[in-house]
Chain A
Amino acid sequence: MSEQLLIESLERYFNDEMLPEEKAYFEQMRLENPELDHMVVSHKIFMDKMAQFAERKKLMTSLSSTHDHLLEKGSIAEDQKKISKGKIVQLWHRYKKTTAIAACIAGLTALIISGVISTFGTASRQTVELLSRDIEQLKKTQDYQYSQIKEATKLPEGAVVKSGGSAFLIDGKGLLLTNAHVLKGSSAVVANDQGQEFKTSIVYVDHVKDLAILKITDSDYQPFKTLPYDLKSTNVSLGADVFTLGYPRNDITYNKGYLSALSGFDGDTATVQISLLANPGNSGGPVFNKYGDIIGILSTREANAQGVTFAIKSQEIVQALQSWQEKDTSAVNVSALKSNHNLKGVNREQQLTALRQYVFNVKAYN
């Protein structure tokens, strides 16, 4: 029997394909021939291993195809989206206690810090507001200088004073210049330095320039023939001495300073910066040079800095008056505001005595 035939017989034997007689004969041979028996045993082992190998190979193939099949079906996932979601969920589960504690500490810290800031906050607030210079929010960083006035006699009954400020005559007949923001209400009364009140009507308002003109309509008013000051339209120099009269309170108040910059808040060319301690109520007050001529009108001050006040340039006033003239024939002639420098060379006290009667206290009401 050749070996090949023998192996074939063996396979038939293992697979139980032999006929009974053949099988009996084969088993007999195994008993008689140890060499054959050994061969049978080793081949049996080999065939078993081969079968196991085959089974396992098959299983691995079907596992792989199952994996791919399920992946396609969506029963299991390996895509990137689920990874990140899984990771996040996993991280969350791992660190949620830590996160909660951290959040509590952060919340507490925030509360404590905000408490500290609100208690000792002035210093830091200034820093913040100084930074806000960059932002074009003129109104927020500047204080309008009007005062709340409570007592009034010529006010209509039941009228509530909304705002107040100063004004000065630009025409002896009773035309007053003030800031538009002073006139918060619908009408206004003015009082002179003696406290005598006069009814007025608002004849012109320019919100852009923040200028307004009031006309005294009261019969009690005694017109002035001339005004002792000039509306100076030439440029002023840096460092020039200036002074103002106004009504931060109900009595006329004098204040002096110097021109500290040729531009206003945030580089505004319509105004100049004056180093002068102005208070709410000074708005609308005239700014005089040392000769007693008007170089501007006080309008705003910087909220964060002491003594930084802004005045609208006299050129702006002239422009406003000109545009008013174009609209209204009854307007005051700008050229009328030319005086003969009556107050030049006169000392300050005398200047003030002369000027104070032309500056009025404005009380605007609804």
Chain B
Amino acid sequence: MNSDQKEQQLLRGLVENDTKAIQTIYAGNFSLIQALVLNNNGSYDDARDVFQEAMVILYEKACKSDFKLTCQLKTYLYAISKRLWLKKLKHHGLFVSNTDLSILEPVIAVEEDLEMAEKKDEEFQIMESAFAKLGEPCKSLLEAFYIQKKSMADLVEIFGYTNSDNAKTQKYKCLMRLKKLFFAQYSK
């Protein structure tokens, strides 16, 4: 198997949330990004955040049906991370040493991906804040059902409902509230 095929396989693993694939990508690329961030006024936590954000963007891209990676995984992650970090530095008004970050101008265009990522980010934030405003036990209930993909029977057990219908009603009420909260932000 050549390296191209290997990377395609890794990306498929990433889309399917396969632990081994994520670990392989992570181990193979993190140090590079870490060095990039550390060498440019960043901390270890910054490096971690930037890399994981880049991974999310890669994931979003890989999820698209028309997805095609035109360069090496490493190059892509590096380019994305660099832009992300530059943005953060600018945001914090920190000094950017021209020499270091611009020498390695990205050979690939990632602007489009970043814009898309920004939009997704926004939606994510909206959903997160909607969940936060929801309050307990709705938050846990919906998270258990929609994120952790637990079955109705599990919910009855975990949340102590007398029967499955009760749980359904409760879930429905919570979902409606969440939907309202979500669209209050989303439609703006």
Contacts and interface: CB of A to CB of B under 8 A. Distances in A.
Interface of A: 3-4, 7-8, 42-43, 46, 49-60, 62-64, 66-67, 69-70, 75-78, 83, 86, 90
29 contacts: A7-B172, A8-B168, A43-B179, A46-B183, A49-B127, A49-B182, A50-B146, A51-B146, A53-B124, A54-B146, A57-B147, A59-B55, A60-B56, A63-B22, A63-B52, A64-B52, A66-B19, A66-B23, A67-B48, A70-B23, A70-B27, A70-B30, A75-B27, A76-B26, A76-B27, A76-B30, A76-B31, A83-B44, A86-B35
A75 B25 CA distance: 12
Interface string B169-184: 1001001100100110
Interface of B: 17, 19, 22-23, 26-27, 30-31, 34-35, 38-39, 44, 48, 52, 55-56, 59, 63, 120, 123-124, 127-128, 146-147, 149, 168-169, 172, 175-176, 179, 182-183, 186
Nearest to B30: A76
Given A42-B183, A56-B120, 12 more contacts: A52-B120, A53-B128, A53-B147, A55-B63, A56-B124, A58-B147, A59-B55, A64-B52, A70-B23, A70-B26, A76-B26, A90-B39
Contacts of A60: 52, 56
A56 B62 CA distance: 13
B146 A67 contact: no
A8 B169 CA distance: 10
Given A54-B146, A56-B124, A57-B147, A62 B17 contact: yes
Contacts of A83: 38, 44
Contacts of B52: 60, 63-64, 67
A4 B23 contact: no
B120 A66 contact: no
B161 to A, nearest CB: 15
B45 to A, nearest CB: 9
Contacts of A90: 38-39
Given A49-B127, A53-B124, A64-B52, A58 B17 contact: yes
A78 B44 contact: yes
A61 to B, nearest CB: 9
Contacts of A63: 22, 26, 52, 55-56
Nearest to A63: B52
A59 B168 contact: no
B113 to A, nearest CB: 15
Contacts of B30: 67, 70, 76
Chain A to chain B: the 5 pairs with minimum beta-carbon distance, closest first? A54-B147, A53-B127, A75-B27, A4-B172, A78-B44
